[in-house]
Amino acid sequence: MSANRIKHKVNHVSLVVDNSGSMRKHEAQLVRVVDEFVKGLQEESDRLGHETRISLYAFDHEVENLVWDMDVKHLPSLRGLYQVNNGATALIEAAVKSVDDLKNIWEGYGEHSFLQVVVTDGEENASGFSETGQMHIRMGGGKGAGVLSKWRGRIQSAMDDLPDHWTSAILVPNSLAKRTAQEYGFPAGNIAIWDADSSKGVEEAIGTVRTAATSFLRGREQGVRGTKNLFAMGQDLSTADVKASLDALDAGTYILVPVDQPTPIREFVTTAGHPYKTGCAFYELSKREKIQGSKQLAVAEKDPATGRMTGRVFSGPAARRLLGLPQAEATVKPGDNPAYTVFVQSTSVNRKLVPGTKLLVVL
């Protein structure tokens, strides 16, 4: 007789965090961001019945492993583990080491996926120190430029060679660092900007990473083992979850109106012949947006074959949780979902609507 073998999903997550000297003023904020990311992994893993294991690296001009492939339920707060040093930033070396180490994990049994998330407040200027004992000049010429070119090649090769069930993402401080990360090989949809210098920016980063953790694990439930759009919202929505968690709005209580001009939202609603009340209109999420914790959400059903909305709309108190949004403000961008489009409540009278989208108006 043969016994039935338990089939389970195993997620290996590697957090690679900058502890160079410039991070000193961000230390408390980084601890909060990482702890919330870990909490999101813990909660969603419990809910879905996944095994999620986590590794933690810290880097300045040297790279150190602090935790190796531990059950995420047992990982303590980053506080006490994380300590800022006075070194430079070996960002490329840290990312490459994390990938190389994870490749040593045996995948013979179970369904494995790998997620690497790098968090930094600066740019590369020290990879190779562990080999040469010398730091290179980020933008200079001569030997420093040659060392940097070598490490650029190493990370580009590492990113290009990642299998489909691997996801590599990074949080960077500004748009210049985002372009550099793309040059290294990080997919644009796996790069997010965080503002560690303001409490608002930290709250946004917390929302971003928690949404990413939730989205990654829910995507696994739908057979998605790797993604190039980690920081997108709504791409993991399933019909079963929507119908089980949200309420279908009654026909006649709302309309979906095509937007053809960049018109202020109140003017658009009243011109369409409907009274405008604060909160009655929901705009289609079509670009990166900041969504406040008080905003309601709705999802409109689409025909997967044509991409056209069917006219059915779902909403309810569980919508934020279903979409992986925290109760605080978060910056998100729309994911590509063939079956649903996300709508966000507006409380503004002057928001300019985006042509080519639709507006949901609750009557």
For the chain, domain boundaries = 9-230, 239-362
83 CB contacts (<8 Å, ≥6 apart)?
19, 58
Instruction: List the structure tokens of 222.
Output: 């739908």
**Strands of the chain, DSSP E:** 9-18, 51-59, 63-71, 111-119, 166-172, 191-193, 232-233, 247-248, 254-258, 281-284, 289-291, 297-302, 309-315, 330-334, 340-346, 358-362
DSSP string, 172-193: ESSHHHHHHHHHHT--GGGEEE
Task: Give the whole-angstrom CA distance, residue 119 versus residue 33.
Answer: 10
3-state secondary structure of 249: coil
Task: Give the whole-angstrom CA distance, residue 60 versus residue 19.
Answer: 5
Task: Give the whole-angstrom CA distance, residue 290 versus residue 112.
Answer: 33
Neighbours of 345 (CB within 10 A): 21
Residue 190: phi and psi, rounded to 5, are -110, 20
pLDDT in tens, the chain (363 residues): 556 667 789 999 999 999 999 888 888 888 988 998 899 899 989 988 999 999 999 999 999 999 999 999 999 899 888 999 988 899 999 999 999 999 999 999 889 999 999 999 888 888 887 666 666 554 444 555 677 888 899 999 999 999 999 999 999 988 889 899 999 999 888 888 888 777 777 777 877 787 788 888 888 887 888 888 888 777 777 888 899 999 999 999 999 999 999 999 999 999 999 999 999 999 999 987 888 889 999 999 999 889 899 999 999 998 987 887 767 777 777 877 889 999 999 999 999 999 999 999 999
Statement: the pTM of the whole predicted model exceeds 0.95: no
CATH of domain 9-230: 3.40.50.410
Nearest to residue 187, comparing CAs of 162, 221, 214?
162
